[in-house]
Structure 1
Amino acid sequence: MGQRAAKRYAKAILDLAQEQKSVDQLLDDMLLIQNSITQNPELRSIFNSPVVKNKDKCAIAKAVFKDVDDMLHKLFDTLSENNRFNHLKWICQAYTTQYNTLHNIREAHISSAVRLDNSVIKALKEQIKNITGDEAKVTTALNEDLIGGFILNLNDLQYDASLSGKLNKLKRNLHTR
């Protein structure tokens, strides 16, 4: 239920932002809020707590995020009134997803055994654009368990070009014979 509500809130905000021509500014604010909630367990705990009153959650959000667009301060009020403050992080995430869809951007995550240099990331972005027709927003992570190579996650798709993946596949093939 929560994810659907978050998508509806995000859609309403995106529509309003398009009217006010503040879609990009709102994206920055949404990412700031989402990252703050993700990285700050105390803040996340406050927003998710059934003990903390909604008006207090709203006041805290307005104080912590005092520099965000006024539209988001109105969102805080609405979430407070509707007892939905625990959805704030998901609303931010849904807004980012809808923004990316609107601008033909795909989120890609690459896990690699070694740190990738910019030329490799650029080449992967070009390949994604050639295949999908969309721009790619790439995040990377180091995973030494892969031994070599990389794993690319693009939306619901996964491309495993890692050495550990190839070894696991070989192991499965040997077991089935």
Structure 2
Amino acid sequence: MQSRAAIRYAKAMYDIANEENFINEVYKDMSLIKDLYGDSSDFKSLLSNSQINYQDKKKAILSLLENNNTITEKLIDLLIHNKRVPIIGDIAISFIQLYNKHNDIKEATVISASPINEDLKSIILSKINISDPKSISLTNIIDSSIIGGFIIRFDGKEYNASVKQNLNNLKKELTN
């Protein structure tokens, strides 16, 4: 759950990026920040470490982004000035949610024991009756605890076809 501050920063950034026609560039930056924030514990440590000064944090963040656009850079400057750099991951998540909402893109999550390839992604999209693959944002979360198979979360529903779930169901049947 994002903080109210993160949501406000994201909304303001979305409005400015939309006004100046940089929405897709900022979206790419926010997607990268979201991925780093979710996947890299080093990135989270960098943001929350009080011994690293804010200018070094800014340099590190900007060096990770492909196209340093001025809107993203101004956001980072503002976060540095307001001592809010640690919430940049939540801002990125809120920004992406706004972008998806305004562009009628639904979000789906696939949890699997290993990364899924493009062929499997298209099969999954066809199984959940998505005729236009561009209208959905598919996120793959790797969780080795499900052993195998996958879990799909889409539109408030969950389909669990994991080995772990099947083993739990079998255990329930055998104990009854």
Q: TM-score with structure 1 length normalisation? A: 0.74
Q: Tell me, what secondary structure is at the counterpart of 2:68? A: coil
Q: Aligned pairs, how many?
A: 175
> Residue 16 of structure 2 corresponds to which residue in structure 1?
16
Q: CA deviation at 1:143?
A: 6.1
Q: Judge conservation of contact 1:125–1:135 (CA < 8 Å) in 2.
A: no
Q: TM-score with structure 2 length normalisation? A: 0.74
- Distance across 2 between alignment mates of 1:114 and 1:55: 37
> Residue 92 of structure 1 corresponds to which residue in structure 2?
92
Q: Which runs of 5+ in 1 are unaligned?
A: none
Q: Tell me, what secondary structure is at the counterpart of 1:161? A: strand
Structure ID, larger Rg: 1
- Distance across 2 between alignment mates of 1:54 and 1:114: 36
Which string of whole-angstrom CA distances, capped at 9 and with x for unpartnered residues, describes residues 74-104 of structure 1? 1112111111011112211221122112222
Q: Judge conservation of contact 2:109–2:152 (CA < 8 Å) in 1.
A: yes
- Distance across 2 between alignment mates of 1:58 and 1:117: 33
> Residue 7 of structure 1 corresponds to which residue in structure 2?
7
Q: CA deviation at 1:116?
A: 5.6
- Distance across 2 between alignment mates of 1:29 and 1:157: 29
Cα pair distance change 1:130/1:62, threshold 3 Å: closer
Q: Which runs of 5+ in 2 are unaligned?
A: none
Q: CA deviation at 1:61?
A: 3.9
Q: Percent of pairs identical after alignment? A: 28
- Distance across 2 between alignment mates of 1:115 and 1:60: 27
CA-atom RMSD, angstroms?
3.5
Q: Judge conservation of contact 2:107–2:154 (CA < 8 Å) in 1.
A: yes
- Distance across 2 between alignment mates of 1:47 and 1:76: 12
- Distance across 2 between alignment mates of 1:115 and 1:64: 23
